[in-house]
């Protein structure tokens, strides 16, 4: 995607400038510009090409960055970046991933010792050369040495499902201490980001040492990295790092607000505080020396003239303006979901039968489901051809008669093949109650081919929805190259629903894309893509992603009662 490409260039320029010791606000300006582009739903190239519209109207984009964007759109690269790369070797950038080693120290290592790779850095440490540098010492040298292997792993983010599991377990353990009156996770995990770099846990306690001892002794904890009066940092065995901060009750809300972030959101909150003659920090809201608020987040927001803002929205992507205008959306909740339109059974690669899936869904309070096994192209998953599919539907109809209290749709997850045709003929697709079309193969095709496939599927009157639209897998597979403007327009025109797939590996559409889809008036469906009866457990991750997109109950089709949902189907 063009926008992401330019954003990546700006971020790299920021990193390089930082190592060169450039003005930190200049560095931040590049990062802000990158963020604006990342969050932009339309193509910046389109914006540039539209007469009467100025790119400098975008937040954080001025004359200079605007001109640079234009250069990248036109030529695909930025000369400034090429120059900077000449000046700072890639290996020096790698050093930034060593914990405790930032741009200043990396620059010193490069300039004083001429080190340009992690391997050379390791040798220099082992030879004791690093400890002799001014500002360095034996301890720093040792911590760098220990951090080098970690640097290959670092920068790696953890799936929200992994992060949540660790955080929940540790929070539950700390709760057992009677000296802790309140403890909860903050940070990106609380904002429900799809991945977390680390974990932040806050506790109210009058005995911080006891809390820290308890954490240090937890079986999930591998190593204590740092420990002070109020803060302890540990590394868990999964590799994720966790900060425990112990705060007094009067500061709990302020600390929760502060450490939940995002950084960008908090900068705006702080600015608002200054405008009101206040100061906000993690201890509270202050007027001069006087404590004004801080026991709860509600108090903190009220002090800067805002209502409580749900953590999922705190990204400075417009939520503060909405809050100010009293227009914050009432975000969708897990309990709003009434149907699940994407799941598998033993007919393809699922582990449970139709009946088991139906019973499990019913037990969770779902009112309707669609059984959507794979089509034949996915041979690895035992995908169905027309004959087997018709047999399968027969079996589904039988279960439909036997299991009451839940509607069961005869569906199919049909592959959109590399040549842009559907994996099953229209004849059989037209017999389905529900068709969810997906890309599984050929995700690396050029944009034109990807778009041809998606558009053909959308124009096929038998297709009700597009599932996991980009095909990305968070840990290892990049998304297909989609022109979202064209994609959303077509889906809106043809009444095709778009999925947020709740699988923590997918979470596809993502938050920004789902918010854009909403702006086109496209109903979203949130599905689990369950492959067994416990697969329904992932639903909250999909709902979280929808919340981050600012979606309400009304924006999500499968919150509706079955009769109403059915009217959205193209064959209805």
Of 17 and 496, CB closest to DNA: 17
How far apart (Å, rounded) are the C-alpha atoms in residues 393 and 507? 28
How far apart (Å, rounded) are the C-alpha atoms in residues 515 and 367? 26
Of 35 and 560, CB closest to DNA: 35
Asked if residue 454 lies in contact with residue 469, where contact means CB atoms within 8 angstroms, the answer is yes
- Calculate helix-pair angle for 118-126, 138-153, nearest 10 degrees: 150
Of 189 and 371, CB closest to DNA: 189
How far apart (Å, rounded) are the C-alpha atoms in residues 114 and 364? 61
Of 262 and 513, CB closest to DNA: 262
Element (H, E) at 413: strand 407-415
Binding track over 137-176 against DNA, x by CB under 7 A: xxxxx-x---------------------------------
What are the structure tokens assigned to 133, written together?
């540098």
What are the structure tokens assigned to 503, written together?
């699988």
What are the structure tokens assigned to 118, written together?
């992690």
User: Which residues from 439-498 bind DNA, rule CB under 7 A?
Assistant: none
Q: Which residue of 110, 158, 252, 259 would you call a contact of DNA, by CB under 7 A?
A: 259
Asked if residue 275 lies in contact with residue 233, where contact means CB atoms within 8 angstroms, the answer is no
* Residue 499 found at the interface with DNA (CB under 7 A): no
CB of 478 to DNA, least distance (A): 25
What are the structure tokens assigned to 556, written together?
């999500």
Binding track over 29-48 against DNA, x by CB under 7 A: xx-xx---------------
Of 231 and 355, CB closest to DNA: 231
CB of 455 to DNA, least distance (A): 36
* Residue 81 found at the interface with DNA (CB under 7 A): no
User: Which residues from 535-564 bind DNA, rule CB under 7 A?
Assistant: none
Of 228 and 561, CB closest to DNA: 228
CB of 377 to DNA, least distance (A): 43
Of 263 and 398, CB closest to DNA: 263
CB of 61 to DNA, least distance (A): 6
Number of residues binding to DNA, judged by CB under 7 A? 61
Handedness of CA 58, 60, 66, 70 (dihedral sign): negative
Residue 212, classed as helix, strand or coil, is helix
* Residue 136 found at the interface with DNA (CB under 7 A): yes
User: Which residues from 183-222 bind DNA, rule CB under 7 A?
Assistant: 187, 197-198, 200
| Long-range interactions of 69-75: CB distance < 8 A, separation 24+ | 69/6, 69/37, 69/44, 72/5, 72/6, 72/9, 73/2, 73/6, 73/44, 73/45, 73/48
Element (H, E) at 67: helix 63-75
CB of 62 to DNA, least distance (A): 3
**Residues of the shown chain interacting with DNA in the complex, contacts defined by CB under 7 A:** 23, 25-26, 28-30, 32-33, 56, 59-66, 96, 98-106, 131, 134-141, 143, 187, 197-198, 200, 226-231, 241, 243, 259, 263, 266-267, 270-271, 274, 279-283
């Amino acid at each position: 995607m063009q926008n992401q490409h330019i954003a990546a260039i700006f971020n790299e320029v920021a990193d390089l400038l930082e190592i060169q010791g450039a003005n930190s606000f200049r560095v931040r300006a590049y990062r802000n510009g990158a963020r604006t582009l990342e969050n932009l739903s339309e193509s910046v190239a389109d914006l540039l090409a539209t007469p009467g519209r100025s790119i400098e109207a975008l937040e954080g984009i001025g004359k200079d960055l605007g001109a640079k964007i234009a250069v990248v759109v036109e030529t695909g690269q930025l000369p400034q970046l090429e120059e900077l790369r000449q000046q700072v070797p890639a290996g020096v950038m790698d050093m930034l991933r060593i914990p405790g080693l930032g741009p200043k120290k990396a620059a010193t290592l490069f300039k004083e010792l001429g080190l340009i790779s992690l391997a050379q850095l390791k040798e220099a440490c082992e030879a004791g050369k690093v400890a002799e540098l001014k500002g360095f010492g034996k301890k720093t040298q040792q911590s760098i040495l220990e951090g080098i292997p970690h640097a290959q792993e670092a920068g790696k983010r953890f799936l929200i499902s992994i992060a949540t599991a660790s955080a929940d377990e540790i929070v539950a353990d700390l709760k057992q201490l009677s000296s802790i009156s309140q403890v909860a996770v903050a940070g990106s995990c609380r904002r429900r980001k799809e991945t977390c770099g680390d974990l932040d846990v806050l506790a109210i306690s009058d005995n911080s040492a006891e809390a820290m001892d308890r954490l240090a002794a937890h079986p999930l904890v591998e190593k204590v990295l740092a420990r002070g009066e109020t803060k302890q940092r540990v590394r868990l065995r999964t590799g994720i790092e966790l900060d425990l901060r112990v705060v007094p009750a009067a500061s709990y809300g302020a600390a929760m607000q502060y450490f939940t972030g995002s950084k960008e959101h908090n900068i705006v909150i702080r600015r608002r505080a200054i405008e009101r003659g206040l100061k906000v920090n993690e201890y509270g809201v202050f007027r001069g020396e006087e404590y004004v608020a801080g026991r709860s987040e509600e108090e903190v927001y009220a002090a800067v003239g805002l209502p409580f803002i749900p953590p999922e929205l705190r990204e400075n992507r417009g939520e503060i303006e909405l809050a100010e205008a009293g227009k914050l959306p009432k975000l969708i909740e897990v309990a709003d979901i009434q149907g699940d339109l994407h799941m598998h059974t033993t007919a393809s690669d699922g582990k449970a039968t139709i009946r088991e899936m139906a019973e499990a869904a019913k037990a969770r309070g779902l009112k309707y489901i669609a059984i959507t096994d794979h089509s034949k192209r996915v041979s690895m998953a035992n995908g169905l051809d027309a004959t087997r599919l018709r047999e399968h539907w027969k079996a589904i109809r039988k279960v439909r008669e036997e299991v009451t209290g839940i509607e069961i749709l005869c569906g199919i997850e049909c592959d959109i093949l590399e040549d842009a045709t559907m994996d099953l003929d229209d004849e059989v697709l037209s017999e389905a109650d529900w068709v969810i079309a997906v890309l599984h193969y050929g995700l690396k095709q050029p944009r034109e081919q990807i778009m041809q496939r998606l558009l053909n599927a959308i124009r096929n009157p038998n297709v009700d929805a597009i599932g996991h639209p980009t095909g990305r897998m968070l840990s290892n597979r990049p998304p297909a190259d989609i022109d979202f403007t064209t994609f959303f327009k077509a889906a809106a025109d043809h009444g095709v629903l778009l999925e947020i797939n709740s699988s923590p590996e997918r979470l596809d559409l993502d938050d920004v894309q789902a918010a854009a889809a909403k702006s086109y008036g496209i109903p979203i469906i949130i599905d689990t893509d369950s492959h067994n009866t416990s697969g329904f457990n992932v639903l909250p991750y999909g709902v979280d992603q929808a919340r981050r997109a600012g979606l309400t109950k009304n924006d999500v089709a499968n919150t509706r009662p079955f009769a109403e949902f059915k009217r959205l189907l193209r064959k209805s």
